[in-house]
Amino acid sequence: MIVVTTVTKTYSDVTALDDVSLQVGPGITVLLGPNGAGKTSLIRCLATVMRPDRGGIEIGSIRVGAESDNRAIRSRLGYMPQATGYPNGISVSKHLDRIGVLKGIVEDDERAKAVAASLRAVDLEEQADRRVNRLSGGMQRRLALAQALMGSPKILLLDEPTAGLDPEQRATFRSFIGAIGAAGATVLVSTHQLEDVLGISGEVVVIANGRLLFQGPPRSLAELARGQVWITGHPAPGSISWPMPDGRVRALGEVQGGEPVEPTVEDGYLLLMKRNSANAYA
């Protein structure tokens, strides 16, 4: 269980996190928000690589702060940063082996098993002897997930894991993450791509401008838009609308003369963003 209580983080004059409080339990939780919403700052604070200015974070009943506590937390979590690189001239399995050492897996046999399990989880077994810098972009992202999975962490923090991947690779990634969530780990996935949410997440957290806007199941996010999603013949002024393949227009908000339709998670998210920006300008 991850408990975040009134966390604030600022960078000079930019407030990345503004009094954010939330709880994340076992299963997959998707942290959704536009670019610059504060997702990465929150994930970094949770991964103990950055300290919040105010507020508290508890991970598995251990409070983030003191170095010894942070070390205990780190031994339970796996972190996949948004951007990560690799040492040059080292093989995939050797790299993971070193990560195993740094994760405190002392026994050689145990470490070899952990490397094999991580490679299996991301389907990179056949690349074990390949040099990391010879891997494709998609494989390098999978390796980033594999290194986060080393030591079977109970808590997994994935920051934009599918960024830069093509649709097929994203689907593959979702299947990896889904399998990890199904195994009972607490997985927090940060993304700004809605399709990542669909199908795999039990909980969605939406933040924008450093503030928490929503936390609940995807269905509840969709329900936020109930009665405000319409199919019309033409764009409605003041609403969010976009043309559909059949020539009609899907519109969100107060629309006159439209046909009401079942809301989706995307509809709920877009309306939430619209309200948030309206409040910000108000």
Q: Which of residues 22-81 bind other proteins (CB under 8 A)?
A: 44, 47-49, 67, 70-71, 74-75, 77, 79-81
Distance of closest approach, residue 258 Cβ to other proteins, in angstroms: 47
Distance of closest approach, residue 249 Cβ to other proteins, in angstroms: 43
Distance of closest approach, residue 61 Cβ to other proteins, in angstroms: 17
Nearer to other proteins, 28 or 157 (CB): 157
- For 16, residues 6+ apart whose C-beta sits below 8 A from its C-beta are 9, 10, 38, 41, 210
Which amino acid is residue 90, in one-letter code?
Answer: I
Nearer to other proteins, 83 or 182 (CB): 83
Distance of closest approach, residue 46 Cβ to other proteins, in angstroms: 10
Give the per-residue SS3 of 235-250. CCCCCEEEECCCCCEE
E-only strand ranges, 89-228: 155-159, 186-191, 203-208, 211-216
Q: Which of residues 92-111 bind other proteins (CB under 8 A)?
A: 99, 102-104
Distance of closest approach, residue 164 Cβ to other proteins, in angstroms: 14
Cα 6 from Cα 52, distance rounded (Å): 10
CB 119 within 8 A of CB 176: no
Nearer to other proteins, 67 or 109 (CB): 67
Nearer to other proteins, 148 or 222 (CB): 148
Distance of closest approach, residue 83 Cβ to other proteins, in angstroms: 6
Nearer to other proteins, 147 or 239 (CB): 147
* Residue 184 CB neighbour total at 10 angstroms: 10
Q: What is the DSSP letter of 133?
A: G
Q: Determine which helix (DSSP H) or strand (DSSP E) holds 56, and give its type and residue range.
A: strand 54-59
Q: What is the DSSP letter of 131?
A: B
Decide: is 88 part of the binding site for other proteins (CB under 8 A).
yes
Nearer to other proteins, 41 or 276 (CB): 41
Q: Which of residues 118-177 bind other proteins (CB under 8 A)?
A: 144, 147-148
Nearer to other proteins, 47 or 121 (CB): 47
Number of residues binding to other proteins, judged by CB under 8 A: 26
Which amino acid is residue 16, in one-letter code?
Answer: A
Cα 133 from Cα 88, distance rounded (Å): 6
Distance of closest approach, residue 123 Cβ to other proteins, in angstroms: 20
Opening angle at CA 234, ends 233 and 240, nearest 5: 120
CB 191 within 8 A of CB 35: no
> Contact positions toward other proteins, by CB under 8 A?
44, 47-49, 67, 70-71, 74-75, 77, 79-81, 83-88, 99, 102-104, 144, 147-148
